[in-house]
Structure 1
Amino acid sequence: MLGAGTGMDGNANGGNMSSEEQARLQMQQLQQNNIVYFDLDKYDIRSDFAAMLDAHANFLRSNPSYKVTVEGHADERGTPEYNIALGERRANAVKMYLQGKGVSADQISIVSYGKEKPAVLGHDEAAYAKNRRAVLVY
């Protein structure tokens, strides 16, 4: 039996969260898992990120007023121009994946930072792997 003052879902407010509050909570949960990593010099979406991206797509489809920016990044190897282009291809790959799952193109914007905003400083493969990414930002 649920404790006094809790609704069927266990919330103290009796489950009366507004749909906007529910969407905000769901978005906050999605932001805990919002990075797609890529192989060296690649921009194809790996299968191990499909479930995470599907969750983002479901949220965006269910909440058409929400928008996401996909930030593309690269590791430090390569010229600045090459890495900006690669980051853009990575961000665009995520955008196309989301659109393929029914998300409106109007909800998705992309930006590339190339190698300018590393997640990890370092000059080894472990650091490079963390920097080859696309980040979904709400």
Structure 2
Amino acid sequence: MTIRNAHPKTALKLGAALLLAGALTLSGCAKKAPAELPPPPAPTTAVETPAPATVSGPTPGSQADFVASMMGQDTIYFDTDRYNIDNADAAALTAQAQWLMKYPGKKATIEGHADERGTREYNLALGERRATAAKNYLVSLGLDAGRLTTVSYGKERPVALGSDEASWAKNRRAVTVTID
């Protein structure tokens, strides 16, 4: 006889009996309290954990790191109408090459600049010769030429405004800028 075919009162009794049997079965599985409780945890002393070290300064390998490492040697300066590398320029370019060799995945652009005197075309050509001279020197120190590009801004991006020798001297330059 199944519960479905049984009389409603019988089905109710069978259902109640099944429910009671299930409850008794489950109550037998209940955990009993242990005879003795474990001891409480021992008091802990506060241990000071050092704070994680914070990196101060620029990210290694970044343009900011390059500029900070060069301490002003990211730029070389030229005499009027010149693009030759002198001893001071050679020292700056050597420092640049050492930094670039430390980061072999880094590329750089060398920007050539001129002062305001002369025509736009002349200054663009002079800026290109200055950037190329710096690039060639870096390549002679062992850098892969494929990592270096040049661009000339001529007299279009002066760092010093003024029509005097001090301003012109600051604008006759080649600047190395690292790129990703």
On whether the aligned pair clears a TM of 0.5, the verdict is yes
Instruction: Report if aligned partners of 2:124, 2:154 keep a CA contact under 8 Å in 1.
Output: yes
Alignment equivalent of 2:98, drawn from 55, 58, 63: 58
Which runs of 5 or more structure 2 residues have no equivalent in the other structure? 1-49
Alignment equivalent of 2:161, drawn from 121, 132, 135: 121
The letter of the residue matching 1:113 is Y
Instruction: Report if aligned partners of 1:72, 1:114 keep a CA contact under 8 Å in 2.
Output: yes
1:77 & 1:129 partners in 2: Cα distance? 11
Q: Secondary structure at the match of 1:122?
A: coil
The letter of the residue matching 2:93 is L
1:86 & 1:30 partners in 2: Cα distance? 28
1:84 & 1:23 partners in 2: Cα distance? 30
Q: Report what 2:124 is aligned to.
A: 84
Instruction: Report if aligned partners of 2:112, 2:174 keep a CA contact under 8 Å in 1.
Output: yes
**Residue 62 of structure 1: how far off its partner (Å):** 2.5
TM-score (norm 2): 0.63
Q: Report what 1:29 is aligned to.
A: 68
Aligned length: 125
Aligned Cα RMSD in Å? Answer: 2.3
Instruction: Report if aligned partners of 1:31, 1:137 keep a CA contact under 8 Å in 2.
Output: no
**Residue 124 of structure 1: how far off its partner (Å):** 0.6
Seen in structure 2, the aligned counterparts of structure 1 residues 124 and 99 have a Cα distance that, compared at 3 Å, is same
Which runs of 5 or more structure 1 residues have no equivalent in the other structure? 6-11
Alignment of 1:1-138 (within 5 A): 12=53, 22-24=60-62, 26-30=65-69, 32-33=71-72, 34-138=74-178
1:122 & 1:27 partners in 2: Cα distance? 29
Q: Secondary structure at the match of 1:71?
A: strand
1:83 & 1:104 partners in 2: Cα distance? 27
Q: Report what 2:41 is aligned to.
A: none
Between the two structures, name the one with larger relative contact order (CA 8 Å, sep ≥ 6): 1
**Residue 90 of structure 1: how far off its partner (Å):** 0.2
